Amino acid sequence: MSSQLNAYQECHHRVIQHLQAIYPDHNHALLADNLIEAMCHGGVCAVPEARTNNWSQQDLILITYGNSVEKVGEPPLRTLNTFLQQHMSSVISGVHILPFFPYSSDDGFSVIDYTNVNPELGDWHDIEAIAKQFDLMSDLVINHCSSQSKWFTQFKQGLAPGKEYFVTVPADTDTSLVVRPRTSPLLQAVDTPQGQQHVWCTFSFDQVDLNFANPDLLFEMVRIIALYLDKGVKIFRLDAVAFLWKQLGSPCINLPQTHEVIRLIRTLVEFRTAAAILITETNIPNQENLSYFGNANEAHCIYNFSLPPLLLHTMMTGSCQHLKQWLMSMPPAQSGTAYFNFIASHDGIGLRPVEGLLETAEIDELAEVMQGFGGAVSWRTMTDGSVRPYEINIALTDAMQGTVNGVDDLLVERFICTHAIMLALEGIPGIYIHSFLGTRNDYAKMAQTGSNRAINRHNWQLETLTQQLEDQGVASQIFSNMKRLCELRQQQPAFNPNATQFTLHLGDQIFAFWRQSMRRDQSIFCLNNVTDRPQRVALTQINLVANERWRDIISGTVYEDTREEIELEPYQSVWLSNWDGAGVVMKRPVGQGEPFANQPLNDPDERRRHG
What secondary structure does DSSP assign to 451-496, as a single string? Answer: -GGGGG---EEHHHHHHHHHSSSHHHHHHHHHHHHHHHHHT-GGG-
346 is in an annotated binding site: yes
Amino acid in the structure at residue 380 = R
pTM of the model: 0.93
**pLDDT at res. 473:** 92
136 Cβ contact partners less than 8 Å away, ≥ 6 residues apart: 94, 95, 97, 127, 130, 232, 233, 234, 235
Measured between alpha carbons, how far is 296 from 319 in angstroms, rounded to an integer? 34
**pLDDT at res. 307:** 97
Average pLDDT over residues 98-103: 98
Per-residue pLDDT of 141-198, as tens digits, reads 999 999 999 999 999 999 999 999 999 999 999 999 999 888 899 999 999 999 999 9
519 is in an annotated binding site: no
Measured between alpha carbons, how far is 402 from 71 in angstroms, rounded to an integer? 34
144 is in an annotated binding site: yes
Per-residue pLDDT of 584-610, as tens digits, reads 666 655 444 443 333 333 333 333 433
Measured between alpha carbons, how far is 167 from 213 in angstroms, rounded to an integer? 9
211 Cβ contact partners less than 8 Å away, ≥ 6 residues apart: 164, 165, 166, 167, 217, 246
Q: What are phi and psi of 358, to 5 degrees?
A: -115, 150
Q: What are phi and psi of 514, to 5 degrees?
A: -120, 135
Burial of residue 599 (CB within 10 Å: 0-12, 13-18, 19+) is exposed
Q: Whose CA is closest to 548, among 593, 503, 606?
A: 593
Average pLDDT over residues 571-588: 81
Q: Facing residues of 538 across strands?
A: 565
28 is in an annotated binding site: no
Q: Transcribe 267-311 into DSSP letters.
A: HHHHHH-TT-EEEEE--S-HHHHHGGGTTTTS-SEEE-TTHHHHH
Give the H/E segment covering residue 201: none
Cis peptide before 181 (omega within 30 of 0): no
577 Cβ contact partners less than 8 Å away, ≥ 6 residues apart: 492, 494, 522, 523, 524, 525, 550, 551, 552, 553
Q: Which of 208-222, 274-288, 500-514, 594-608 is predicted least confidently?
A: 594-608
In this predicted structure, the answer to whether residue 582 has a pLDDT above a threshold of 70 is no
Residue of higher predicted confidence among 260 and 48: 260
Give the H/E segment covering residue 583: none
Instruction: Indicate the class that CATH gives domain 51-99+304-490.
Output: alpha beta
Q: Whose CA is closest to 139, among 84, 93, 100, 94?
A: 100
453 is in an annotated binding site: yes
Q: Whose CA is closest to 146, among 104, 200, 204, 100?
A: 104
Average pLDDT over residues 306-333: 97
Average pLDDT, the chain: 92
* CATH number corresponding to 500-611: 2.60.40.1180
Is 239 noted as a catalytic residue in this protein?
A: yes
106 is in an annotated binding site: yes
> Residue 604 in 3-state DSSP?
coil
Stated length of the chain: 611
Measured between alpha carbons, how far is 357 from 307 in angstroms, rounded to an integer? 11
Per-residue pLDDT of 517-546, as tens digits, reads 999 999 999 999 999 999 999 998 987 877
Domain boundaries, the chain: 1-47+219-228+249-297, 51-99+304-490, 500-611
Q: What are phi and psi of 313, to 5 degrees?
A: -60, -40
Rounded to 10 degrees, what is the CA torsion of 62, 65, 69, 70?
150
- Residue 329 near residue 501, CB atoms below 8 Å: no
Q: Which of 100-109, 351-360, 556-565 is predicted least confidently?
A: 556-565
Measured between alpha carbons, how far is 334 from 222 in angstroms, rounded to an integer? 27
Measured between alpha carbons, how far is 597 from 547 in angstroms, rounded to an integer? 9
- Residue 65 near residue 108, CB atoms below 8 Å: yes
Average pLDDT over residues 239-265: 97
- Residue 292 near residue 259, CB atoms below 8 Å: yes
User: Measured between alpha carbons, how far is residue 325 from residues 30, 310, 358, 428, 611 in Å?
Assistant: 49, 10, 11, 21, 20
In this predicted structure, the answer to whether residue 561 has a pLDDT above a threshold of 90 is no
Q: Determine which one of 126, 209, 239, 442 is catalytic.
A: 239
